[in-house]
Structure 1
Amino acid sequence: MPGPAPTPFKSDLALPKSTDVVVIGGGIIGVSTALELSERGLSVLLCEKGQIAGEQSSRNWGWVRISRRDPREIPLMAEALRIWDGLDARIDGNTGYRRSGILFTADTERKAAWLESWAEHLGPFDLEARMVRGGEMDALMPGHQMKVQSALYTPVDGRAEPQWAAPAIAEGARAQGATIMTNCAVRSLDFQGGKLAGVVTERGRVACSAVVVAGGAWSRLFCGNAGLQLPQLKVLNTVMRSAPVQGPEAAVWANGFAMRKRVDGGYTVAAGTENIVDLVPDSFRLGLRFLPAFQAEWRSLRFRLSGRWREEAAQARSWSPDQVTDFETCRVLDPAPSQKVLRSGWAAARRAFPVLNGVDVVQSWAGMIDVTPDAIPVISEVEHVPGLFLSTGYSGHGFGLGPAAGCLTADLVMGTKPIVDPHAFRLSRFTDGTKVRPFAGI
């Protein structure tokens, strides 16, 4: 069964010879960056090797949440919530966004205490997050049969439709003057006199003064060809959607499953914390760097040896601009979902909400999440390559962060005051002696 189909997007036809900025990647980060830069008066070319939102930007859960985030991401996500509120009007489009609240359930006193302490991080941002119990909790999750004593409820959180959002933002960027090219892979950076001077695409060279790499799971491969070591691996997450059914409006994360209401009346359901890590050559190249993350998340990770090893081992790690690249031979990364994860997540959701019993699962899919050793993104200029910027490694958090991440990336490109302090997201944290660790949750 193929992955979800994003809103069809018609490519521009003519590749410009020059532009101010080239954005590589047509996911929500890339299109949000293109929108911001175009609105500020720069000429922008966005190149996507496949289709807009063809990969993880259309395959994620659709959650727009600040709850339970790494504290380093909270300032950026607070800005994202503000931007999401006015985004549809701004782009004259429909992302499906709405505030509906999210609940993280607690089945032990220890977990409830941790969630309550996490909520204190929102104090400086005047955003509500509170523990709910008893009748209030039951009203937010009508019909549930879970044995939980409380839940963290964040009413400011919400949802949007992943198949709609990035294409709608891309149309908004084009309305502001951006050129959006699909099925147009960028093969390499172009240097003249030792300085970044443009890119080489499969359709020809484009001169520019700045490049933003927002290539998601492909960013490490692209950067490696330019001599830049980006520590990034991929994690496979499996998702399904149900037929329409009456149920809670608020999204729910509980033991064994996570689910949120869709605009079509069904639910997007996943197994919550269960992810698959395919062992590939990069797993061993980067193993020591990722060891703290593996240790922190070992309960939720399932390591396996699969066909991905052979596929990635066969990928060229360097190439010349006149060579056909893996970006062209694999336009859309469309991995098979895990049937085991599908069964366990759906069974857990049906136990928690009996109304789901007898409801059909109408589609299932998987996506590759691009992760960093500390599970927060790289939003940064590359210090030794002036004009080159990275906005990648969002570690499964990129959809909600997208609009604000695009704003911060644009701030860095233009050298203006950043929307939030970008220090935590700098690329150099992996080489400057900083202790790189993921946020210790529960």
Structure 2
Amino acid sequence: MSFPISEASPVRFNAPLPARADVVVVGGGVIGVMTAWFLAERGLSVVVCEKGRIAGEQSGRNWGWVRQQGRDPGELPIMVESLSIWKRLAAEMGDGLGFRQTGVLYLAKTEREIAGFEAWTEHSRAHQLDTRLLTAAETMAMLKGAVAPWKGALWTASDARAEPWVAVPALAAVAEEKGVVIREACAVRGLELAAGRVAGVVTEAGRIACDHVVVAAGAWSRLFLGQHGIAIPQLSVLASVAATEPMPEIFPGNAADDDFAFRRRADGGYSIAPGARHDFFIGRDAFRSFGVYLPVLKKDFRSTNFRLAAPKGFPDAWGTPRRWAMDRVSPFERQRILNPAPNMGTLAEVQDSFARAFPSLGRPKLKAAWAGMIDSLPDVVPVVDHAPIPGLTIATGMSGHGFGIGPGMGRVVADLVTGRPVGHDLNRFRLSRFADGSRIEPGPSL
């Protein structure tokens, strides 16, 4: 399998579509795959329709962190459950996921960052995590050859890593063994309704009758839902990542400060990325959502590179249609996989920051670079809720947190669909928060 997964990658999942299923999942990222996994375990017939390839977009392009540390308090209990599921999956599936509990280290350059870390430890204690605040000396002792002036760090030894573009297709293959029908290169053009509720979906390969639909379409969810009159203020940011050539090990786990982040890879190199910087394309939806995004923009303005227009065919491109006929080619078929060019200037800064922090290693050489579009919402937590249309459930806007929380969130969404107790408070993720006058602002995550 080539990386990143692209339209040129061979179709791996090509099951015939049934005439009917209990549930159709729109989107073959980690949330969609794991939702289907748990629905199948509950005895339901499930179809996953992916317009491109499984894990072709952000689920296969992220940093590969499986972290509890720094989570929004609303996400944290689900993430604790998710880590437990990851461990079980790794025990059952072996090394195919690339899962290792090598820890997460957040590095602080200022006393203000230290204070933020210390404040977050209240949440870690509430969930009995092994999170510790480290001194400067303890921090430097963990990182071989480091000379950066870090004042301390936040450390959670039980946190983990996995290889996204390998893990998610591997999970999909097991889901298929459990009875899930998975079809790549098969866009869902829209919902079919009867008496005001879900009666099926219309795909480019034909109709599937069903009683329930889960929209887990990542950066495409706003466009898909808007076709049916459901508005969510979802936008996407571009995140650039690179893989280095093999290097001596400086730290076996995941670490980050504001300048750069890195994760040890099984091939002996590191995945490196900007610690906080990302690129944002200004499109039609961005103008519509400007007001609700002001709090997060104020908090994150300096770390955002603003670009004037999204590439042709992207969800928020000026020329992307917001309405289409079900019997015509949809925007989802015209742009199978979001494959934006990485910001090589930003990645060059990451290489420089890495070299300054670890001068004995020098500037890391890159063997690959890529980018993905992170689907985000103004308070940097997802929508996980029933939609106003009976039979429709939304699970989107994971805001860069989806890979690690995917197994736990998939279990939650499956039980939400089937009406079982979900075991967690989902009030933070309700769809209505954007229309009921609630104050929308990022929570105390890191």
Q: Determine which of 418, 421, 428 is the counterpart of 1:417.
A: 421
Q: Tell me the equivalent position of 1:305.
A: 308
Question: In the alignment, which residue of structure 1 is the partner of 2:237?
Answer: 235
Separation in 1, partners of 2:335, 2:307: 22
8 A Cα contact 2:252 2:263, kept in partner = yes
Spell out, residue by residue over 1:332-370, the C-alpha distance to the aligned partner (whole angstroms, 9 max, x if none): 110011121111111111211224425420001111000
Distance 1:255 1:20 in 2: 45
Corresponding position of 1:387: 391
Give the Cα separation in 1 of the matches to 2:3 and 2:308.
22
Residue 264 of structure 2 corresponds to residue 261 of structure 1: yes
* Match for residue 353 of structure 2 among 342, 348, 354: 348
Residues 275 and 302, structure 1, Cα contact 8 Å, conserved in 2: yes
1:324-343 pair list within 5 angstroms: 324-343=329-348
Match among 113, 131, 134 for residue 133 of structure 2: 131
The residue type equivalent to 2:368 in the other structure is: Q
Please give the TM-score of this superposition, normalised by the length of structure 2: 0.95
Query: What is the RMSD of the two structures over their aligned residues, measured on CA atoms?
Result: 1.8
The structural deviation recorded for 1:301 is 1.3
Q: In structure 2, the residue corresponding to 1:151 is in which secondary structure?
A: strand
Equivalent residues of 1:3, 1:59 under 8 A apart? no
1:322 lines up with 2:346 in the alignment: no
- Does the 8 Å contact 1:296/1:440 carry over to 2? no
Aligned: 1:367 with 2:386: no
Q: 1:184 aligns with which of 186, 199, 202?
A: 186
TM-score between the two structures when normalised by the length of structure 1: 0.96
Instruction: Name whichever of 137-146 and 283-292 sits farther off.
Output: 137-146
Deviation sequence 1:14-39 (CA, Å, 0-9, x none): 11000000000001111010111111
CA positional deviation for 1:12: 3.0
**Distance of aligned partners of 1:200 and 1:129 in 2 relative to their CA distance in 1, 3 Å threshold:** same
Partner of 1:222: 224
Between stretches 319-328 and 353-362, larger displacement belongs to 353-362
**Contact 2:254–2:263 under 8 Å retained in 1:** yes
Shift of 1:109: 2.2
For 2:330 and 2:213, how far apart are their aligned partners in 1? 19
Q: Can you list the C-alpha shifts for 1:148-190, whole angstroms capped at 9, x where unaligned?
A: 1211111111111011111011111111100000000000100
Q: CA deviation at 1:210?
A: 0.3
> Structure 2: which amino acid aligns with 1:4?
P
Q: Please tell me whether the aligned partners of residues 9 and 167 of structure 1 are also in contact (alpha carbons under 8 angstroms).
A: no
Distance 1:363 1:279 in 2: 27
Q: How has the CA–CA distance of structure 1 residues 226 and 92 changed in structure 2, closer, same or farther, with 3 Å as cutoff?
A: farther
In structure 1, which of residues 37, 40, 43 is the aligned counterpart of residue 42 of structure 2? 40
Measure how far apart 1:79 and its partner are: 1.1
Aligned-pair identity (%): 45
Superposition deviation, residue 193 in structure 1: 2.8
Q: Is 1:280–1:309's contact at 8 Å kept on the other side of the alignment?
A: no
* Closer, same or farther: CA 95–292 of 1 in aligned 2, 3 Å: same
1:198–1:205 Cα contact (<8 Å) kept: yes
Q: Distance in 2 between matches of 1:106 and 1:50?
A: 39
Q: Which runs of 5+ in 1 are unaligned?
A: none
Which residue identity lines up with residue 368 of structure 1 in the other structure? M
Select between 304-313 and 213-222 the one with higher mean Cα deviation: 304-313
Amino acid at match of 2:128: D
Query: CA separation in 1, counterparts of 2:386 and 2:103?
Result: 35
Q: Does 1:277 pair with 2:280? A: yes
Residue 309 (structure 2) pairs with residue 292 (structure 1): no
Structure 1 stretch 144-153 or stretch 213-222: which is displaced more? 144-153
2:432 — aligned with what? 428
The 10-residue stretch of structure 1 (196-205 or 11-20) with the greater mean CA deviation from structure 2: 11-20
Verify the 8 A CA contact 2:120 2:445 in the aligned structure 1: no
SS at match of 1:94: helix
2:409 and 2:229 mapped to 1: Cα distance?
Answer: 25
The amino acid of 2:344's aligned partner reads: Q
For 1:161, the equivalent position in structure 2 comes to: 163
User: Secondary structure of the residue that 2:390 maps to in structure 1?
Assistant: coil
Which letter does structure 2 place at the counterpart of 1:277? F
Deviation larger for 36-45 or 356-365: 356-365
In 2, Cα distance between the equivalents of 1:190 and 1:411? 23
Whole-Å separation in 2 of the counterparts to 1:231 and 1:87: 34
